[in-house]
Structure 1
Amino acid sequence: MSAPLKLSPSAPAAESAEGRRPRALVIAEAWRELGPGVAALSNGSGRPLARTLKLILDPLVIRPVQNPGLAGGTLTSDAAAELHDRIRAAGGDLTAAAAWFLELKAARRRLRITDGNPQEKYFQRCFELARTSGPPSADADVVAAEVVTEIAEASGDSLLAQVRELLRDETAATRLGEELGDAWARRPGPGPAAASASESAETVAAALDACPTGDGSAPLSLLVDGSAGSTAGARLADDGAAQQLGLTRHLLPPAPRLGETASKRDLPLPFDRSIFERLFAALSGGARVDLGIDAEELIAAEIVRSTSAWQLGEEDSRVAMLLGAEASTALDAGRAAQPTAAHRLLAARWHREAYVRRALRLPEGASGVPASVVDDIRTVRRGYLRRLWVRLHGRELREQPLDPRDVWDLLDGVLRSVVMDQRQRLKTMMVRGADEREATEAA
């Protein structure tokens, strides 16, 4: 019988010479360097959870399909270095994703959602939030509730599903359609202003000067008590006024349809949405599951809201739209005078963005910024007001009153959100362009 096969002492040396290292060990070492900020995505030994690897690291950071050299069980020294660098470079996004996961889990508890595994449901959305919005900020609880509720909608056992079913019922839809027509036929006209136009303008300016410091309660209360938001909103019935603000594509806001379908990727402008699209945008984005209202009551309330000034139901929301419409004039290109602190702060946030300065400074088509983003930059005030309306409408459906101390956070937060979206679009376009160039060079 031949002697048992023994490992040659030269075999480990050959392996070492090639510099191959276990992939799992490289990942674990790089992960530990990220520190305690990724604890929510880690197991008890400080390594990434199996679901972290499956749902975040492999598909979104390492991308072994596009980088087959990083896919094996063992890696060459160059591949190990590249893998390490990829994880380290994504450290900021991974830390922010971990923070978002904690926010989403807290929102899940508040909303009393128990279905499914939160890691499976939320990990990839947390990384998406990290890439698009950065770490959680002041409105993180609102954003987290939006995401958790949107994911819960996929189960179909939701208030939105009940709304959809009701609108698909022919008898109910006929009744609600008549209710909608009657409500629009009886829309109230503009009420008498409680103050002159000059007095109202002075109070708006005082509110915009004071709200960034949190001291705007007095002028804001005057505006709410005087129905200044409703008075300003009534002027949107003039030809082209709402269109100019980017709230509708029509000269006059049309009466909405009831509708029964919606797509998040293709929602019309706010005043052009059907009743269902308005509820879809808000309910799939964070309305509480315990609103204490049934589907028919919810639709009836939205019909009434659609006939009101700014198509919002609360005067504090309308005043916030008035303030946003005035403060956002600071975003117009070439506007020199900045009369209030809010104007100056919004203008400073906007114009300190390098891509904004470049797009506005160079002739159209020569900025290097993609044309679609340039269009958004030049008409940013419209995009800003659309997003402000959506935030306020969502707050109303979530029954969140607008505290005067929160007004500046709202106005500034909307612009921050617009900026982050544009940054992400630019980043995505640049990465896509780089990938296309790599593919062309490799062909």
Structure 2
Amino acid sequence: MVQAHVAAVPRGMLIADAWAQLGDGVAPLSNASGRPLARTVKLLLDPLVLRPGLRPQFAGGVIGVEHVDALRGAILDAGPTLTATAAWFRMVKQARRRAGITEGHPQDLYFQRCYELAHLHGDPGTAPDAAQIAAEAVAEVHEERGSVTVDRLRRFVTDPEQVSGLDDLLRQAWERREGDAAVRGQGAGLAEFLETCAVEADERLWKSLAQRRIGTAEAVELDAPGVASGYGLTERDRPARPEIGDRASKRRLPRPFDRSIMERLFAAFTAVFQREAMSDIPALVVAEINRSAAPWQLGEETGRVAMALGRDASAGLDAQTEPGTDANARLLARWRRESYVQRVLRLPAAEVSEETREDVRGVRRAYLRRLWARLHGRELRGEATTAEGMWDLLDGVLRSVIMDQRDRLRRKLERDGASA
């Protein structure tokens, strides 16, 4: 029971408490300790049950005591649907095994489809044709994903008839790398755009930034020693020409600028989106080779402008500094009010490990890596980066980083406490 004098309660604790009341029926959506999986929160609870975009009182790292019962009630009210979702997920995984499908992560692929099936058909135990429905759902998911597979990509980049030509294209692309030093330092307009984009984006200024190639100009600094590594984009002192590559693992992806061509495309193939526009593997590989040698290693000027804006908007996330623009102030405020961040910053060195402190200090690097990944994915999908959507992108990247780091910080703090 929440005490009256408590002003706020950690969101994760509330979710875990409500989840435990749903019982064993949601076990397929839970981890070994009975809490909802990270993907359950990301793919089901946040977008479909709690919907913090529409109910901002559910969005923070801590929930005001006046909203505690409402958050718990939202999860408990959705209990029957979530239980049915878990049951459908069991059936869909069985259908997947029968179909011999191994590509993609089942939770990423099927969680939201199973939630849809739960709404349409209820519990699969009450549907006489549940097995057929599950098989059709699996087939539909993989039909939507198209015929592009990591195996096809790997076969192409390792084809003996292609290897030499691809290596030559990569060498030539890096020999003619852009470096628009003539306009370096003329980035006027970035701060002006960041002053208003959270409220009303300036479309004319956005177009001017792209036309003047400000993103390209601001990328010149990345070739100076330590700059790109300081932004978390490479482990090297300076960006270097990548390899074509022949293997990739989502769990061991290097920093963005250190990835092979294979790894860059692999990261996009394993994300959840429709890939009709990604069906021409030879064209995709050639385009990625050219992109790797471009400013910010992005092919579109709007994406490069977005990286320059993200660099400036995220300044100070890794240090106690005063904000420079309205967008910068909003991001700093969001990060600094995170309870786990404040706890790490308050604790003396003897009570918190250096690894835990580094997780907090490294948030800006994590932010810029994720911003780059989103812009790179948009380019592969042919999606435009617009002035109107710029603030949602900048703010959404930080929200995503916070969600990932929140649980990790909590675990590290618990481990540090146990060690102490």
TM-score (norm 1): 0.64
Q: Which residue of 2 aligns with 1:251?
A: 237
Provide the C-alpha distance between the structure 2 equivalents of 1:93 and 1:230, rounded to a whole number of angstroms. Answer: 50
- Quick check: 2:275–2:381 contact (8 Å CA) kept in 1? no
Give per-residue Cα distances to partners, 1:13-47, cap 9 Å, x unaligned: xxxxxxxxxxxxxxxxx99x97xxxxxxxxxxxxx
Give the gaps of 5 or more residues in structure 2. Answer: 1-17, 37-70, 90-98, 116-137
Q: Secondary structure at the match of 1:200?
A: coil
Amino acid at match of 1:162: R
Q: Which residue of 2 aligns with 1:377?
A: 360
Amino acid at match of 1:308: A
Change (3 A) 1:169 1:186: same
Amino acid at match of 1:158: V
- Quick check: 1:287–1:394 contact (8 Å CA) kept in 2? no
How far off its partner does 1:225 sit? Answer: 1.1
Q: Which residue of 2 aligns with 1:83?
A: none
- Quick check: 1:159–1:295 contact (8 Å CA) kept in 2? no
Residue number among 363, 377, 386 corresponding to 1:394 in the alignment = 377
Residue number among 312, 327, 330 corresponding to 1:342 in the alignment = 327
Q: Which residue of 2 aligns with 1:177?
A: 167
Please say which of residues 172-181 and 357-366 is displaced more in the overlay: 357-366
Change (3 A) 1:357 1:167: same
How far off its partner does 1:126 sit? Answer: 4.1
1:318 and 2:313 correspond: no
- Quick check: 1:223–1:319 contact (8 Å CA) kept in 2? yes
Q: Which residue of 2 aligns with 1:73?
A: none
Amino acid at match of 1:349: R
1:215 and 2:205 correspond: no
Residue number among 187, 193, 199 corresponding to 1:200 in the alignment = 187
> For residues 128-207 of structure 1, what are the structure 2 equivalents within 5 Å?
158-190=148-180, 192-193=182-183, 197=185, 200-201=187-188, 203-207=189-193
- Quick check: 1:228–1:319 contact (8 Å CA) kept in 2? yes
- Quick check: 2:218–2:308 contact (8 Å CA) kept in 1? yes
How far off its partner does 1:332 sit? Answer: 3.1
Residue number among 337, 341, 346 corresponding to 1:352 in the alignment = 337
Q: Which residue of 2 aligns with 1:266?
A: 252
Q: Secondary structure at the match of 2:178?
A: coil
Change (3 A) 1:62 1:211: closer
How far off its partner does 1:428 sit? Answer: 4.6
Provide the C-alpha distance between the structure 2 equivalents of 1:381 and 1:62, rounded to a whole number of angstroms. Answer: 29
Provide the C-alpha distance between the structure 1 equivalents of 2:240 and 2:146, rounded to a whole number of angstroms. Answer: 31
Amino acid at match of 2:206: L
Residue number among 358, 366, 374 corresponding to 2:351 in the alignment = 366
- Quick check: 2:314–2:328 contact (8 Å CA) kept in 1? yes
Give the gaps of 5 or more residues in structure 1. Answer: 1-29, 35-47, 64-87, 106-114, 131-147, 438-443
Give per-residue Cα distances to partners, 1:204-249, cap 9 Å, x unaligned: 1110011101323222221111100000112211222211211111
Q: Which residue of 1 aligns with 2:34?
A: 61
How far off its partner does 1:390 sit? Answer: 0.7
Amino acid at match of 2:309: L
Give % identity.
39
Q: Which residue of 1 aligns with 2:269?
A: 283
Q: Secondary structure at the match of 1:385?
A: helix
Provide the C-alpha distance between the structure 1 equivalents of 2:341 and 2:27, rounded to a whole number of angstroms. Answer: 37
Change (3 A) 1:259 1:57: closer
Amino acid at match of 2:364: R
Amino acid at match of 2:271: G
Change (3 A) 1:270 1:347: same
Q: Which residue of 2 aligns with 1:421?
A: 404
How far off its partner does 1:416 sit? Answer: 0.8
How far off its partner does 1:411 sit? Answer: 0.6
Q: Which has the larger radius of gyration?
A: 1
- Quick check: 2:108–2:272 contact (8 Å CA) kept in 1? no
Provide the C-alpha distance between the structure 1 equivalents of 2:308 and 2:171, rounded to a whole number of angstroms. Answer: 27
Change (3 A) 1:345 1:298: same
- Quick check: 2:147–2:279 contact (8 Å CA) kept in 1? no
How far off its partner does 1:56 sit? Answer: 3.0
Amino acid at match of 1:231: A
Q: Secondary structure at the match of 2:316?
A: helix
Amino acid at match of 1:215: A
Change (3 A) 1:53 1:364: closer
Provide the C-alpha distance between the structure 2 equivalents of 1:420 and 1:152, rounded to a whole number of angstroms. Answer: 28
Amino acid at match of 2:29: I
The alignment's C-alpha RMSD in Å is 4.0
Q: Which residue of 1 aligns with 2:130?
A: none
Give per-residue Cα distances to partners, 1:114-160, cap 9 Å, x unaligned: x899xx94499749xx9xxxxxxxxxxxxxxxxx99x959x995343
Provide the C-alpha distance between the structure 2 equivalents of 1:365 and 1:404, rounded to a whole number of angstroms. Answer: 46
How far off its partner does 1:179 sit? Answer: 1.3
Change (3 A) 1:98 1:397: farther
Amino acid at match of 2:399: R
Q: Which residue of 2 aligns with 1:409?
A: 392
Q: Secondary structure at the match of 2:197?
A: helix
Change (3 A) 1:61 1:310: same
Provide the C-alpha distance between the structure 2 equivalents of 1:116 and 1:357, rounded to a whole number of angstroms. Answer: 48
Change (3 A) 1:330 1:95: farther
How far off its partner does 1:168 sit? Answer: 2.1
